[in-house]
Structures are given as structure tokens and as C-alpha cells.
Homo-oligomer: A and B are copies of this chain.
Amino acid sequence: MKKVVLIVMDGLGDRPNSILHGKTALQAAYRPNLNYLASIGLNGMMHPIRPGIRSGSDTSHLSLLGYDPEKVYTGRGPFEALGLGLEVLPGDVAFRANFGTVDSNGKVIDRRADRISEGTELLAASLNMEINGYRFKVKEGVEHRAALVIHGPGLSSSVTDSDPHEVGRKINTVRGTEESGTRTAELVNRFLKSANMILANHPLNEKRVKDGLKPANCLLLRGAGKAPDLQPFSEKYSMKGACIAGIPMITGLCNMIGMDIIKVKGATGRTDTNYEGKINALLQALKTYDFVILNYKGTDVAGHDGDPILKKSVIERVDRAISPLKDILEDTVVAITGDHSTPCSMKDHSGDHVPILFVTSGNLRDRVRHFDEISCMDGALEINSINVMDYLLQLSERSDKYGA
């Protein structure tokens, strides 16, 4: 049996960019190590989820790890909460939230409280509370955005939004959309009553009013989702798994399936991350773990910024950092791919397929010599992200035979 390494360059895939004379960032990057691994590996294209789907990082990572999002993904609530660094456990119910402004009659004046950007961490922290043994945790996001996670037994996500989604309308009382949601709705309403009282009296809001800004005196909830009860990774694959990633959404997801999270100094989840530090941590982790997933977020960040030069340089840094992987192929299977494309020309995720390579000693090689979107189209494989774990398992001699 071999060890297994899955390197994900987040949002790796791209489209031809005029700044790069019609090349993609990956094509334009100096990438001798990626090319070498491609030349001794089995390459191809991977559809995130399935052909044409514009996946998020949450759904694509679920799928990459072999958890079919079409079966287990329960909406953005729990995964946005993970992304903000909140702990989300199976059975927890999470909402996406806004800090908004209401008048004295509870009518919404501004769903974004003048796009409040400062001090939301104080507001969020003031809303953590326990009601009847249920724990409520709020975490701020970018600008007016936030998330709420409720922890406790027997919760249901079959509840309506408190957010009326329109200015001029009163905030809604949360209601169960099914019998099972009634009790959760009551709990949420009790929480909101306290929370909105706390916000109304928060010193930050007094200051905002004095400064001529709308107060963030109301938490608007939408998109309740229940955290799925995912089979632990170790149980599903008989592998002890670890995760190295700079962003909470990925570490949170891996934590949810029972992986250990390895912290690396200087791993920021940005383009200035500690590229070598993460690989060193991976090599170290392989001494005690069977499987390590490593996410570099910088490629996605550069894609969202629409900066192909930056994306190219992130890829070049990754290429240099992964050099030691060439020396562990005797007893390790390495896969390198993106979780989806984030074309710089689009500044958002596309539904394109992305290059993928599998490499280990003794395996089949195809004729691909370069690791990029176009070269890998000539590779051996065209698969969906849900197939990746099966492929890694068989290459690492960890699969059970299906049949006789």
C-alpha cells in the first residue's frame, strides 16, 4: 500500500488571456516540476462535479474527497459558516446572515446597514449565547455578511428566513416549513429577539448613529441548512487523513469528516502564503498519515482579482515548492489538480474542466508532456471529481476488489 497526496490549486483552471498573449496562466507559467510530473504520469481533464457545472470550492472539495455533493450538500449555510471559521458539527443548523437596519416598527430600511465594514466582529461576538441548552454562535464575514450556527439536539433546517429580502417590509417571524421545523423556528425567534435587542443597544451602533450612519441593529437570517452527517474519512477509506490549507472553508470541511488539520506558520490562504512550508508540513505528515490533502488558495484569489500575471506567479511558486514530491513517488501516489476554474477574464468560477495528473512509480504513462489545460486534453483520462478518490485508492493499492 502506498501513501496518497492530493494537491489542489484552488481555481487553477483558466481561459486564454490577452495579457498572456492568449495563453492561460498555467500555460504561461514556468513550471518544470509540474511538467516533469505530467511527463511521467497519467493525465487528463477533470470536470468539477460533472461537465458544465460551475461548482463552488465547498461542493468541489466534497466531491474531490468522494462525498457526492448531490447527495450530501445541504446548502450554503453550513459551508459559509465553515468558511468563516465557525465550527459546524453534524446536525448543526446554520444560516447565512446580514447585519441590517430596521426602524422602530421592525421594518427593514437597509438590508446591509450602509454596507457596514468596521466593528462587525464586535457585533458578532456580542450575539453568542445559549438558550435552553442550544448554543448560538455568530461570526462576521466580509462587510455586512455573517453566519449563524446553532448547536444542539434535534434541530431542523425546515424553517423560513427572517430576512424579508426587500426593503420596506417587516422582518419575518421564522416558521417551520414542516412539522419538524416548529421547535427550531421557536428557538430561532427567541434568539433573534435577544440578538436584535443586544444590537439595538450596542455602543457601536450608538456611535454609528452619531456619525450619521445607519445602525446595524438587526440580524437578518436566510438559507437555513443542516450540516450533513458525513461518514468519517478514516472509516470510508481506512486511511488516516490530514489537511493542510489556509482557508477555513477547507479546514472546516476536512474537520467535519474527522481529518486532522495541520497548521503551518505563514499559511495565509492568500497569494503570500508559505508555499514551501506547506510542502514541508506535508512531507512530515506522511510519516504518520496515509492521506494528505493540501490546498493552495492563491490561484483562486488571483483569478477572482482578474490578475493573470499574479496567477502565473502563484503557479510558479507552487511549482518550485512541490519539487520534493518527485522523490517520494516510490511509495506515494500524488494527484495534482484544481477544484474548479477561476478564469481571470471572468473573475469568478467557470464550469470548465481542469487539468489533473496522477503520478506514482510503476504506473501507466500517457503522451502528455506539459501540465496545462490544453496539453492535458490529450491525456488518458476525462473524469469527474467524484472519481478521483477511487482512482487514488486503486493506484495506492488500497481498493477492495468489486466482485471476484
Contact = CB atoms under 8 A, between A and B. Distances in A.
Interface of A: 15-16, 24, 45, 49-60, 69, 73, 76, 79-80, 83, 249, 345-346, 348-353, 362-367, 373-374, 377-383, 387-395, 397, 399-404
B364 A400 contact: no
A288 B268 CA distance: 48
Contacts of A353: 380-381
Contacts of A402: 49, 53-56, 59, 69
A394 to B, nearest CB: 3
Contacts of A391: 51-52, 351
B362 A366 contact: no
A231 B364 CA distance: 37
Contacts of A348: 401
Given A362-B15, A374-B364, A380-B377, A80 B404 contact: yes
6 contacts: A51-B383, A56-B402, A57-B404, A59-B402, A69-B403, A364-B373
Contacts of A350: 394
Given A346-B397, A404-B80, A377 B366 contact: yes
A308 B60 CA distance: 40
Nearest to A60: B403
B387 A378 contact: no
A352 B382 contact: no
Given A16-B364, A69-B402, A352-B364, A394 B54 contact: yes
